Amino acid sequence: MKKVLFASTALVLSAGVASADGVTITGEAGFGITSTAGTTTIGNYLEYFIGASVATDSGITVGASSDLATAGAAGDSHDREVYMSYEGLKLSVGNISNAADDAGIADVGYGGLGVDNVAEGAVTYGGADVRVDYSFGDWAVAVSADSGNGAGQDDWAIGFSGSISGVSIFLGLDDNSGVQGTAIGLGYSAGAVSVAASYEKAGAANSSGVSVAYTSGDVTVTAAYAQSTAAANDAYGIGVSYDLGGATLDGGFAEVGGASVMDLGINFTF
């Protein structure tokens, strides 16, 4: 959910030849306390997601998006994306996600304690500023590339996703300046239980992880485990989320990188 009002591009959105679908502004915010190896910090984050689109007379949708993060949000950015779509086909240009980077597990805690980062640590994904997505029924394929890598070997990636009998499947292939990586993801939900698993490999490096979540009433408990050849220790953790009605109270405990990490905080969207 990363969409915007502005873009320096050859696409011109003219009210005379298109109808505006409107502008959306949403966001997320939170605050909490984190303890890492005995060091305690208090933090917060705030991020806005802005999007706009128009529908041309020929049925093509043209849009733009951006996410605006404040200084308190991890990974502050102003990711800009401009896109055009028709039925199941979409072309995106800008600061966009790598097509192969979509396998992963659930993290635990208020802000994410990093267990999932260990599971997703084998592949260093290449950049992407052009992406094509095509969806058909329960399946989708995506191709992305970095048109300006400048190192003589442009980054590219392919992602394929779908579902069979309630099981979600993802396969990604990535080439980052000649270094190739593979990512596999699986997911399944049945009633109150959801499970996710991932595996990555790049050269001699590999990483994997699994997470299980169980919901009862307003409470969701999530457990996660991950390993990586790049990490000296396996990572594991457990988290609890309580639905306050409009916000959640989230906390967790994990062992990551040989250190104990815990947090507690409030998250909400608007």
| pLDDT tens digit sequence for 195-211 | 999 999 999 999 999 99
Least confidently predicted of 11-25, 96-110, 201-215 = 11-25
Q: Give the model's confidence band at 8: pLDDT under 50 very low, under 70 low, under 90 confident, else very high.
A: very low
State how beta strands 80-86 and 139-145 pair: unpaired
Q: What is the pLDDT of residue 77?
A: 57
Q: pLDDT tens for residues 50-64?
A: 999 999 999 999 999
Percent of the chain residues topping a pLDDT of 90: 76
Percent of the chain residues topping a pLDDT of 70: 87
d(CA 176, CA 146): 10
4: β partners: none
Q: What is the pLDDT of residue 73?
A: 47
pLDDT surpasses 60 at 185? yes
Instruction: Enter the pTM of the model.
Output: 0.83
Q: What is the mean pLDDT of residues 225-253?
A: 95
Mean pLDDT over each residue of the chain, to the nearest integer: 88
Read out DSSP for the chain?
--B-S---SS----TTTEEEEEEEEEEEEEEEEEEETTEEEEEEEEEEEEEEEEEETTS-EEEEEEEEE-TTSTT----EEEEEEETTEEEEEES---TT--------TTTT-SHHHHHT-S--PPP-SEEEEEEETTEEEEEEE-TT--SSS--EEEEEEEEETTEEEEEEEEEETTEEEEEEEEEEEETTEEEEEEEEEETTEEEEEEEEEEEETTEEEEEEEEEETTSSS-EEEEEEEEE-SSSEEEEEEEEETTEEEEEEEEEEE-
Q: What is the pLDDT of residue 152?
A: 56
pLDDT surpasses 50 at 247? yes
pLDDT surpasses 90 at 12? no
Q: What is the mean pLDDT of residues 9-25?
A: 53
Q: pLDDT tens for residues 40-95?
A: 999 999 999 999 999 999 999 999 999 988 755 455 556 789 999 999 999 999 98
Least confidently predicted of 13-17, 63-67, 236-240 = 13-17
Q: Give the model's confidence band at 5: pLDDT under 50 very low, under 70 low, under 90 confident, else very high.
A: very low
Q: What is the pLDDT of residue 21?
A: 64
